[in-house]
């Protein structure tokens, strides 16, 4: 296929897979349980943080986090007492454990009390054509409090060579339009054209088969290469193709 044919093919697949019918198998279903901006973005951030491995396990543990926060994540984060954090003692998702979750709760309270929330923190450092510098700045602020060194690995830094798949996925959830009832369109100070594709094994493999990506590793350099290809097909909303690449890889074994 030439580039025009690839664009038409991916446009069709993006329209197919950006659908609420696929939410029941996707971790984005968890923030869809909430209606307030703060509950949606906090639940989305926490679920995206553990979004690697088996999707059923991600969803189960995401729901467990919400239950442990009384299904009111913003209220819990802002008003919990130190003794309330003991309820997380048995929480674990792969290498993300209770110690990490307790720090994330403290750091999120710091973000909301000192910076007026997640959106403001990201938008303060956004560039016109991408959010990778904003992710880097967010990580520095998020880990400004005393914390276990191991916990830092759970927020990737694209300026240190990471594709930062999970945080880019979270940003897609928050920023892209809610017209199709999948993403939320909550953050009005940032725009879809600034987003980067949540590059993972599925989207990477499909992109390589289509000739959109040559680099073999799914790292920061590969993300720049893929972003460039996707922006050449839709400069205003390049990350809509995440639905196509992921759907082709997971549901069609492309």
Secondary element (H or E) of residue 93: strand 92-93
Instruction: Please give the span between the terminal C-alpha atoms of the chain, in angstroms, as a whole number.
Output: 15
Question: In sequence order, what DSSP letters do the residues of 25-36 get, joined into one string?
Answer: GSGGGTGGG--S
Contact 190, 177 (CB under 8 A): no
CA 132 to chain centre: 13
Q: What digits encode the pLDDT tens for the residues 153-179?
A: 999 999 999 999 999 999 999 999 999
pTM of the model: 0.96
Whether residue 253 has pLDDT greater than 90: no
The share of the chain scoring above pLDDT 90, in percent, equals 93
Contact 190, 131 (CB under 8 A): yes
CA 5 to chain centre: 29
Mean pLDDT of the chain: 96
Closest by alpha carbon to 245, among 221, 212, 219?
Answer: 212
Q: State residue 24's pLDDT score.
A: 80
Tokens at 93, concatenated: 């998702």
Cα(7)–Cα(229) distance, integer angstroms: 10
Site of tokens 């709760």: 105
Site of tokens 């999970």: 166
What's 218's DSSP letter? -
């Amino acid at each position: 296929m030439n580039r025009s044919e690839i664009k038409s093919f991916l446009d069709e697949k993006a329209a197919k897979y950006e659908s609420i019918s696929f939410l029941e198998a996707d971790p984005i279903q968890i923030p869809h349980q909430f209606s307030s901006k703060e509950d949606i973005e906090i639940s989305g951030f926490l679920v995206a943080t553990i979004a690697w491995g088996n999707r059923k396990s991600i969803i189960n543990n995401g729901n467990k986090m919400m239950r442990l926060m009384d299904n009111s994540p913003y209220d819990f984060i802002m008003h919990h007492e130190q003794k309330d954090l003991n309820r997380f003692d048995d929480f674990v998702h792969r290498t993300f454990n209770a110690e990490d979750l307790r720090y994330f709760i403290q750091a999120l309270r710091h973000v909301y009390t000192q910076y007026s929330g997640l959106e403001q923190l990201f938008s303060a450092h956004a560039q016109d054509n991408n959010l990778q510098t904003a992710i880097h700045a967010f990580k520095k602020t998020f880990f400004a409090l005393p914390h276990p060194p191991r916990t830092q690995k759970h927020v990737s830094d694209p300026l240190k060579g990471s594709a930062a798949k999970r945080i880019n996925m979270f940003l897609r959830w928050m920023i892209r339009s809610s017209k199709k009832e999948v993403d939320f369109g909550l953050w009005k100070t940032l725009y879809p054209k600034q987003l980067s594709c949540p590059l993972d094994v599925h989207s990477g493999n499909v992109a390589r088969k289509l000739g959109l990506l040559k680099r073999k590793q799914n790292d920061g350099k590969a993300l720049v290469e893929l972003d460039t290809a996707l922006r050449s097909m839709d400069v205003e909303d390049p990350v809509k193709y995440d639905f196509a690449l992921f759907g082709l890889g997971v549901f069609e074994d492309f």
